[in-house]
Amino acid sequence: MTEGPRSVTILGATGSIGASTLDLIEREPERFRVRALTAARSVDKLADAARRTRAERAVILDPALYAELKDALSGSGVEAAAGEGAIVEAAAMGADWTMAAIVGTAGLKPVMAALEQGETVALANKEALVSAGALMTRTATEHGATLLPVDSEHNAVFQCFPHGSAERVRKVILTASGGPFRSLTREQMAGMTPAQAVKHPNWSMGAKISVDSATLMNKGLELIEAFHLFPVGADRLDVLVHPQSVVHSMVEYVDGSVLAQLGTPDMRTPIAHTLAWPDRMETPCPRLDLAAIGRLDFQAPDFDRFPALGLAMDAMREGGAAPAILNAANEIAVAAFLAGRIGFLDIALIVAKVRDSYIAIRPGSIEDVLAIDAEARVRACAFVESLAR
């Protein structure tokens, strides 16, 4: 840890990752000083968190909620702000450590602003790295920023990886729980409802990420992230289905050794690793009891039953605009499924249709990425309409 309190900003403070981060910070308030907290529309949760942590600034995305936020913070000494620009400004306040947990491409500009400050960014927004991975890693390098992965799988790899000696690695293996439909046939999955899809067997996550886990798209997106985070190339990245979610990921070395990071499925563990890095900190997470677990199972993923994983792997290998198109189409399709407009199997179908109908230029800026994203969403919406129930 740095000398004195470490200044922190949480982008997306009211979601599950933000709440877990706040839980850790509030357990050791003497070690952290909160600069800014942001949220999309949860005024009450944002104001309450800002008051509890004595944050310098609280920012709500929706400008129409500014007055409500200001009233909620009255007398607290916390500055209120609103709008997309204000969130980017919060990200650029120069905190020692920034949690990037804004869901979707809405997090792109704030993440880039945080990286440009040259400090540490803990990345929980997978869409940012998927859609603009090359731009983000280049920005981090140019400004001397440290990019730490928060996803349990990438954090596990980070802890096992020989940084600066990638030639020693034969393979990076990401584990996947397999989601709630791991053992179902495609015929059975065709009738699955949103309520069933969001019931993840191991992790407590938001609805969108839970559906991505059910399709295995989540693991596909994580492969693309790993491609940008760890310099091993697409051919040295692999996935294993591991239902217990105890082994979070593995690194296989050229000598045959395999290093793995294990732990209970609690996001506070990888968050704490990045929050204290390069040190360690105590967490309230349940301790791993391997004797009680008794066994650890692994199996290869089934690309026929879960085609979304294959679509993501194709996008990873193609690079350029393909990952951004994949991510945007998936977000639209998942939202349509959650709204009951399309079936579960239609999600991957729509992503494939958008991929096959849209070839875009290689993005050279965040503006290019956002334009590609917007067009892919338009096309995905059209395909949703053609399939809508």
Quick one: 227 and 352 in the same domain?
no
177/310 same-domain check: yes
Domain boundary among 119, 134, 149: 149
Tally of domains in the chain: 3
Q: What is the pLDDT of residues 120-152, one digit of tens each?
A: 999 998 888 999 999 999 999 999 999 999 999
Q: Indicate whether 295 and 169 sit together in one domain.
A: yes
Is the same domain home to 155 and 267?
yes
Shared-domain flag, residues 49 and 98: yes
Single residue among 149, 182, 207 that ends a domain in this structure: 149
Q: Report how far residue 92's alpha carbon sits from residue 86's, in angstroms, rounded to the nearest whole number.
A: 10
The whole-angstrom separation of Cα 43 and Cα 71 is: 10
Work out the number of other CB atoms within 10 angstroms of the CB of residue 71: 11
Residue type, 93: M
Together in a domain, 197 and 86: no
- 299: number of Cβ within 10 Å: 12
Give the end of a domain, one of 317, 339, 371. Answer: 317
- DSSP3 helix / strand / coil % (the chain, rounded to 5): 50, 15, 35
* Element housing 100 (H / E): strand 97-100
Are 313 and 209 part of one and the same domain? yes
157, 292: one domain:
yes
The whole-number mean pLDDT for each consecutive block of 10 residues of the chain, a chain of 389 residues, reads 83 95 97 97 97 98 98 97 98 97 89 97 91 94 96 96 96 94 95 89 73 94 96 96 95 98 94 96 95 95 96 96 96 96 97 95 92 97 90
Does residue 167 sit in the same domain as residue 238?
yes
Residue 98 · residue 119 · CB < 8 Å: yes
CA distance 121 to 146: 6
**CA distances, 285 to each of 223, 270, 341 (Å):** 26, 11, 38
Return the CATH number at 366. 1.10.1740.10
Indicate whether 142 and 280 sit together in one domain: no
Whether 1 is covered by a domain: the verdict is no
Give the tens place of pLDDT for each residue, 86-105.
999 999 999 999 999 998 78
Residue 164 gets which letter from DSSP? T
The alpha carbons of the chain give a radius of gyration, in whole angstroms, of: 20
One domain, residues 83 and 179 = no
Q: Is residue 312 assigned to a domain?
A: yes
pLDDT at position 209: 84
Whether 250 and 288 share a structural domain: yes
Q: How confident is the model at residue 1, as a pLDDT?
A: 47
pTM confidence score: 0.91
| 336-374 pLDDT per residue, tens | 999 999 999 999 999 999 999 998 889 999 999 999 999
Report phi then psi at 52, rounded to 5. -60, -40
> Which residue shows structure tokens 């899809």?
197
**Distant-in-sequence, close-in-space partners of 282: CB < 8 Å, separation ≥ 6:** 27, 28
Domain range for 361: 319-389
pLDDT score of 314: 97
**Is the Cβ–Cβ distance between 298 and 241 less than 8 Å?**
yes
Tokens of 149: 């992965």
Residue 185 confidence (pLDDT): 96
142 neighbors 119 (Cβ within 8 angstroms): no
Distance between CA 216 and CA 179 in Å, rounded? 7
CATH number for 56: 3.40.50.720
Q: Is 144 among the domain residues?
A: yes
DSSP 3-state of 263: coil
Cα separation, 4 vs 306, in Å, equals 49
Say how far apart CA 161 and CA 111 lie, in whole Å: 24
Strands 169-176 and 247-253: antiparallel
**Can you give the pLDDT at residue 103?**
83
